[in-house]
Amino acid sequence: MEVAGLERKQHENPFNYTDDQLMEKQLALKTMKELYPDVPTYYAELVYDMCKNKTQEEIDKIKEKVEKEPFKYAKKENKKLEN
């Protein structure tokens, strides 16, 4: 139902996926949810979008960085003060 002067809310599509690609993404996310039920949808979408829009070389660089560099917000071990 259309209401004069009001627009329907559009889903965000920052990667400009086509309708077919959006359906493919929806199916992939459903499959991911079945395989990994404990992973939040937000993170599943991040992984899907990254794998779909990055080259394998870019993904490998990200993986290397994660393995080598400490996470910016990781808790640092408390060092005991010696008296």
What tens-digit pLDDT sequence spans the chain (83 residues)?
Answer: 678 888 877 778 889 999 999 999 999 999 999 999 999 999 999 999 999 999 999 999 999 998 998 878 877 765 565 55
Domain assignment present for 26: no
- Cα–Cα distance measured from residue 54 to residue 58, given in angstroms and rounded to the nearest whole number: 6
Domain assignment present for 13: no
Residue 78: predicted pLDDT:
58
Query: Structural domain of residue 55, as residue ranges?
Result: 37-70
Q: Which residues contact 36 (CB under 8 A, 6 or more apart)?
A: 44
- Cα–Cα distance measured from residue 32 to residue 51, given in angstroms and rounded to the nearest whole number: 13
Domain assignment present for 63: yes
- The total of structural domains in the chain comes to 1
